[in-house]
Structure 1
């Protein structure tokens, strides 16, 4: 296992905006690579012998086939199963087959997860569904016209493992959106304060926490609204899905990953044809312990992973993920 080195940010404000592209360009400058800017988002990096073209943080080593596979959760599942990697039991349904999908959910065992067949940023994903009312609300949250995947819920922490070539280089736990009460502020006011706090981080600053339909459903289950006041010290989880775009936070755990989980991440990346590097989403209760001591599953792969997530974790050591990718591409490691 060869992990990305710790990273130091000079001026966080310089990375606001297109944060993934900016950490890659920063890494290129630190390595004296030539930068040829074609447009704002299209650029080439070279060392005089080799060159690679990027669009934002998508690199030319990632094939179109890899993008098509990772954009389809069903195709991703098939590739992972062929590689012998544990994935949650599930299947997809057309958007008008809600009753059949509920019957299937009961057959595979509640709780379940609903997610769109294609999608990114956690949009339309609802986790830990155990009642028909929650199922119906989650079904309505999937973007209209999309096929809906129903899969068994795997308990545990949500991890993003970043793979480059033959190595897992970074790992982070993604925590769900949550609030801590002070006995005075309403939930709406706590969300506003949380967004002000997130704004100082170039990665999370562009991903504001906001109440979704699923969050509203959860509040109703506890007899609350956005005007309710949380008692002092009480932590309330707004969303069961640990997604940064939905207001979640990240914690670097690179140094704590068990070697066997690191190997699983590399296998999962290689299971998708044409993916030199990728983000592997893995559920496990304790990633520092051996996989055979617990339930775990790879739930998704990402062919254009969020590089800056590892440069700007909410807590923990910032990692030079962009630098590790460039070191691999240009033989600098």
Structure 2
């Protein structure tokens, strides 16, 4: 892994609350003497003008907004190209990327694609799995519509219908368990890792679950970080509590961790743990080869479920869950636990190298 664990970039995150990822890139660029400003821009005429970060590096201009990067080579050229080019045809759909990686020999959960009207066929496939299932919209963002660890038909039908209310196509997958680790690659090099722990609270022997959540949310809000999210107590949280034999009024024992989400997305209150200790290096090697199997993919984050992060990687103990071609970087810089990693700096350095090639 290249060294991205340099001195963290320090600036007022609230000033960039509308697009924190651009804030980190802006300050990384300025620290390297690179011209950076914000301008109104649209990559194509079919979308409205919005405020984007502009980077001028050599004869190339890069535009960034909310983790999406476009490039234009030469000041006279008008065509803008996504930095990941043709890779978007694969990574833009979770079913397509899963099948691409499966055919290339990489481990992904068993799954099938259904339209939202195919509830009958989806039921049959759920039963054929012989275990827990995961509902996943093919083009959802930030965990929207994703429901893992579905064990009964009623819950499956509810989750499928709920996803179908917002999405046309739904992936039904084998639900896999372990630790969710995100690997960040820039130009084929691993620059950062982060373990994402689902939203949870830790008992002290006196406070109820509801009180612990309230305290946790107060601390999150007090931190004033727009990239952290409070834990929402809803039906999914109650389901997770029931699975553990608890309610909102239960008093967890000292040091007992209580999970309130099955998914590990930061926007749902998960904890990011930077540079997770004990992670076996074999996983990074396998994920790197998977990234190389997708042509044009140069800036990406790959989410992997690992049964035991400390054990050597095998064909049956980890599963690639998602390949993101527009990954957020802020949550590598600001983590709940562990070390901050300068992903913004790694991206800027790679853009500089590319611009001089």
> What's the TM-score once normalised by structure 1's chain length?
0.88
Farther-moved stretch of structure 1 (238-247 vs 264-273): 264-273
Q: Is contact 1:163–1:279 with CA below 8 Å preserved after alignment?
A: yes
Name the residue aligned to 1:202: 225
Q: Does residue 130 of structure 1 match 2:151?
A: yes
**Structure 1's 64 and 161: CA in aligned 2 closer, same or farther, altered over 3 A?**
same
Distance in structure 2 (CA, Å) of the matches to 1:16 and 1:188: 32
Distance in structure 2 (CA, Å) of the matches to 1:315 and 1:16: 23
**Structure 1's 175 and 187: CA in aligned 2 closer, same or farther, altered over 3 A?**
same
Name the residue aligned to 2:326: 304
Q: Does residue 72 of structure 1 match 2:93?
A: yes
Q: What is the CA-CA distance between 1:221 and the residue it aligns to? A: 4.6
**Structure 1's 295 and 178: CA in aligned 2 closer, same or farther, altered over 3 A?**
same
Q: Deviations over 1:167-196 (max 9, x none)?
A: 111111100111223455444443232222
Q: Deviations over 1:133-187 (max 9, x none)?
A: 3323322432514322111122211011001112111111100111223455444
Q: Is contact 2:26–2:53 with CA below 8 Å preserved after alignment?
A: no
> What's the TM-score once normalised by structure 2's chain length?
0.83
**Structure 1 unpaired stretches of 5+:** none
Q: What is the CA-CA distance between 1:253 and the residue it aligns to? A: 2.4
Q: What is the CA-CA distance between 1:58 and the residue it aligns to? A: 1.3
What are the residue-to-residue correspondences of 1:35-54 with 2, within 5 Å? Answer: 35-39=36-40, 41-54=51-64
Distance in structure 1 (CA, Å) of the matches to 2:236 and 2:111: 21
Higher relative contact order (CA 8 A, sep 6+): 1
Distance in structure 1 (CA, Å) of the matches to 2:85 and 2:208: 47
Name the residue aligned to 1:2: 2
**Structure 2 unpaired stretches of 5+:** 41-49, 71-81
Name the residue aligned to 2:282: 260
Number of residue pairs matched?
A: 331
What are the residue-to-residue correspondences of 1:1-333 with 2, within 5 Å? Answer: 1-11=1-11, 13-14=13-14, 17=17, 18-39=19-40, 41-60=51-70, 61-63=82-84, 65-144=86-165, 145-199=167-221, 200=223, 202=225, 204-205=227-228, 207-221=229-243, 225-226=247-248, 228-233=249-254, 234-253=256-275, 256-292=278-314, 295-331=317-353
Distance in structure 2 (CA, Å) of the matches to 1:42 and 1:315: 30
State the superposition RMSD in angstroms. 2.6
